[in-house]
Structure 1
Amino acid sequence: MDKNKPKILVIGSANMDMVIGTDHFPVPGETIMGGQFSLIPGGKGANQAVAAARLGGDVCFITQLGTDIFGDQNLENFKREGIDTSFIKQNPDQPSGVALITVDKSGENTIIVAPGANHSLSVAEIAAASEPFQQADMVLIQLEVPLPVVMEACQKAFGLGKRVILNPAPAMDLPESLFRFLYLITPNETEAEFLTGIKVIGEASAYQAASRLRNKGVQRIIITMGAVGAFLFTDTFQGIIPTTKVEVKDTTAAGDTFCGALAVALGNGKNIQEAVAFALKAATLSVQRFGAQTSIPYLEEL
């Protein structure tokens, strides 16, 4: 354990991504010829854990894998990245999670996830993980694991005075009681609309959506807005922090890279505007590359 690195606890999913490039997405009933096929480690939790580790965090990851080849490969991969795997369980009764991803020529993607062992992650496993919660500078969580696990983790972290970042992806209905446990929430435009009913199409609507989330009890809101940058809402600052325009190859891990980078920057003591700028820089690097974890940059690249 590195005393100089911020301690980031990530709770979430781990998948194996099966990725096919294509000129355009098929419509229902259509078969098209795709391009290259790739097998790339993914899952929102795993991507965010890898991003935090590569960008300077001391990361502990809590997830569930199958006892199959994908589970073994993911576990080895986490160890290679320097992630603490003490609280990762391999479940003999469930397959590892997989995601089927198509990426079109503009870099946009469609994703279908079969969660497998991710949906067996239990409240008991969170309750048993006392040490990583107590040591964490930041706790990072998403919604590809069961909602009771999310609730338990957020409540436990909040009770210990820890700062919780919730990346509310994929979008789903959340209990109102969850919001007060959060230090920060990071929806994209689609997720912000799902949570607030306000379509986010620019700064004014982003402000309205963020205000509604603030009224639910979250003190700080970041709405990621793709090539525009990110809209930050705190008690002292409301506005867009811009990003650099680049040629986009694949957006698959952009949001996850952003969240992992954000957790590290805040854990390092940066103020929230500096942390968002750092996270945008990391995400911008990631969209210029193909794949999920294969696209996540290292600290020295920033």
Structure 2
Amino acid sequence: MTGIVVVGSINADLNLRVERHPGPGETLIGADGSVTPGGKGANQAVAARRLGAEVRMVGAVGDDAHAGAALSLLKECGVGVGTVSTSPGTPTGLAVVTVDEHGENTIVVVPGANTTVDAAAVGAHAALLEDADIVVLQGEIPRSGIEAAARLCGGRVILNPAPVLELDAEVLHRADPLVVNEHEAGLVLGLLAPGKDVPEDAGDMLQALRRAGIGSLVLTLGGEGALVLPAGATEVVPVPASPVAAVDTTGAGDAFIGALAAHLLKSDDLVEAARFAARVGAFAVRSEGAQPSYPYMTDDLPGPVEASR
């Protein structure tokens, strides 16, 4: 098997710092601006690779000036990028990330070359996907590319449908685990059980997703940690977050998923993987940016979260 294959988006992030987020029609003066590598797929690949996993990236960039920036940390940390294509005449994906003084962000994404990662593009790497231990997927590429990757995967599928788009139930059911936040969980439940009421309680939402056919689930709760429902288990396990002062939450969820994948490559214990991922996510919010904030294997992570009783 070939370790982790991430099929997903690759962006350049334009990062802006503001005292607060502007209201409609309002103009504010920003404190800083920088361009860093991003994209949910690339973020997750870098996070897993920095933690020691063997990772390859399937995606696309444009033939513009942003392509080099978007690929820089993937290359630097040793993610395999020979399966990243260049789309002529198409811009590299761009995300405009605005971060306020409390570390909270808003993000606007222009997909660019990510729109070319469709079923045909993914199918060109069928042998790689069939041989992968884990394939990691998100929602920033076309539906056909996500579905093709899930169906070609010969190992475990980690699916993070962010943003949520309509996917075949068969593909959602392949997720092991499905990783969603509360908003995304409600939308996925609407896809699988249209017309059913969405529970307000996060734990009840996981149980509803289980009844709708999802075998294993992780529901992320930001600064409050996560809830985990492993395959075959009946009880939801809470995973508290490590208490840290957030500087920038951009890409913290992707750090969590990359760490989750890296841990699951070594151990099948989903709860322990989520505990490790929560510590990695906490590390990531302590500094600015997405990929630049991710830890290496040798970094000291925030104190371990307590095991839930």
Q: Structure 1 length as normaliser, TM-score? A: 0.92
Q: CA deviation at 1:137?
A: 1.3
SS at match of 1:63: strand
Residues 1-302 of structure 1: pairs in structure 2 closer than 5 A:
7-157=3-153, 160=154, 162-196=155-189, 205-234=201-230, 235-236=232-233, 237-301=235-299, 302=301
The amino acid across from 2:226 in the alignment is A
Contact 2:36–2:69 (CA under 8 A) maintained in structure 1: no
Q: CA deviation at 1:56?
A: 1.2
The amino acid across from 2:133 in the alignment is D
SS at match of 2:243: coil
SS at match of 1:183: strand
SS at match of 1:107: coil
Contact 1:190–1:200 (CA under 8 A) maintained in structure 2: no
Runs of 4+ in 1 over 4 A off after TM superposition: 197-201
Q: CA deviation at 1:70?
A: 1.2
Q: CA deviation at 1:294?
A: 1.1
State the aligned residue count: 292
The amino acid across from 2:109 in the alignment is V
Gaps of 5+ in 1: none
Q: CA deviation at 1:215?
A: 2.3
Contact 1:230–1:242 (CA under 8 A) maintained in structure 2: yes
Deviations 1:174-203 (A, max 9, x none): 3323222222110012211222367777xx
The amino acid across from 1:48 in the alignment is Q
The amino acid across from 1:188 in the alignment is N
% identical aligned pairs: 37
Q: CA deviation at 1:270?
A: 4.5
SS at match of 1:154: helix
Closer, same or farther in 2 for the Cα pair 1:199/1:300, shift >3 Å? farther
Contact 1:184–1:219 (CA under 8 A) maintained in structure 2: yes
The amino acid across from 1:22 in the alignment is V
Distance 2:6 2:29 in 1: 37
The amino acid across from 1:293 in the alignment is Q
Q: CA deviation at 1:173?
A: 3.2
Distance 2:71 2:237 in 1: 40
SS at match of 1:173: coil
Q: CA deviation at 1:134?
A: 3.2
Contact 1:176–1:216 (CA under 8 A) maintained in structure 2: no
Closer, same or farther in 2 for the Cα pair 1:200/1:277, shift >3 Å? farther
The amino acid across from 1:177 in the alignment is E
SS at match of 1:184: strand
Distance 2:68 2:222 in 1: 33
The amino acid across from 1:140 in the alignment is V
Distance 2:167 2:199 in 1: 19
Q: Give the superposed CA RMSD.
A: 1.7
Q: Which moved more, 1:232-241 or 1:89-98?
A: 232-241
Contact 1:189–1:199 (CA under 8 A) maintained in structure 2: no
Gaps of 5+ in 2: 191-196, 302-309
Deviations 1:246-284 (A, max 9, x none): 101111111000000000100112511111111111000
Larger helix proportion, structure 1 or 2? 1
The amino acid across from 2:290 in the alignment is A
Distance 2:41 2:130 in 1: 20
Distance 1:48 1:193 in 2: 23
Distance 1:274 1:186 in 2: 15
